[in-house]
Amino acid sequence: MPLENASMPGRVVAQWDKEDCADLGIIKVDLLGLGMMSVLQDTVELCRARGQPVDLATIPKDDAATFDAMRAADTIRVFQIESRAQMATLPRMQPRCFYDVAIEVAIIRPGPIQGKLVHPYLARRTGREKPTYYDERLRPILERTNVSLTYEENPV
């Protein structure tokens, strides 16, 4: 694949866009989160250097104060849930566990938004609307997402 220097020094980008790659059957990998992974690593190293080591594997997944902040949309500078759309949805979604946050991030994307899936999902999640299964055999697949296809798919 032809590569070129990016406008940012030290970066390289592919010259083919995602549609070209899909047409050729080449898998598209989104590396957007790698910068945040570097920030996490730098933070761990900084904490260790300051005598307060942190082990990411031991950070609690059910910290009440963290979820309170999310439900209050107090998420400025929080990767993935800092946009206005995310902050507007968090109080309506009321996340209480990590899976809820995964749904929140997945549903506030162009595919689910354009497909008008956000409001039906929230209505079913809050009990204002009852999920309807077109076939009971779909229940094990769709029950956890309240009969909403909340994950954006990129067909290859």
Structural domain includes residue 38: yes
Residue 47, domain extent: 15-59
Sign of the CA dihedral running 18, 23, 29, 60:
positive
Nearest to 156 by CA among 7, 32, 2, 21: 21
What type of residue sits at position 109?
R
Number of domains in the chain: 2
Taking only the tens place, the pLDDT of each residue in 115-129 is: 888 999 999 988 999
- pLDDT of 139 > 50? The answer is yes
Is 68's pLDDT higher than 90?
A: yes
Structural tokens at position 153? 């798919």
Residues 140 and 65 placed together within one structural domain of the fold = yes
Statement to judge: residues 152 and 77 lie in one domain: yes
Is 26 within the bounds of a domain? yes
- End-of-domain residue from the set 42, 59, 76: 59
Tell which wins on pLDDT, 14 or 60: 60
Q: Is the domain of 118 the same as that of 77?
A: yes
pLDDT at 153 over 60: no
My answer on whether 64 and 33 are in the same domain is: no
Instruction: Record the pTM.
Output: 0.67
Per-residue CA distances from 67 to 35, 133, 138 (Å): 24, 31, 31
Give the whole-angstrom CA distance, residue 51 versus residue 150: 42
Let me know whether 25 and 95 are in one domain.
no
Long-range contacts of 106-111 (CB under 8 A, 24+ apart): 106/150, 106/151, 106/152, 107/148, 107/150, 108/83, 109/152, 110/152, 111/152, 111/153
Co-location of 52 and 93 in the same domain:
no
Contact predicate 91/104, CB 8 Å? no
Torsion-angle region of residue 152: left (phi > 0), alpha (psi -120 to 50) or beta?
A: beta
- The residues, ordered by sequence, that sit 6+ positions from 47 with a Cβ below 8 Å of its Cβ are 53, 54
Mean pLDDT of 58-79: 93
Task: Say whether both 81 and 148 belong to one domain.
Answer: yes
Q: Is residue 6 part of a domain?
A: no
Same-domain status, 69 and 111: yes
Residue 104 lies in a domain: yes
pLDDT tens-digit profile of 10-51? 888 878 887 888 888 887 666 666 677 888 889 999 999 999
pLDDT band (50, 70, 90) for residue 73:
very high
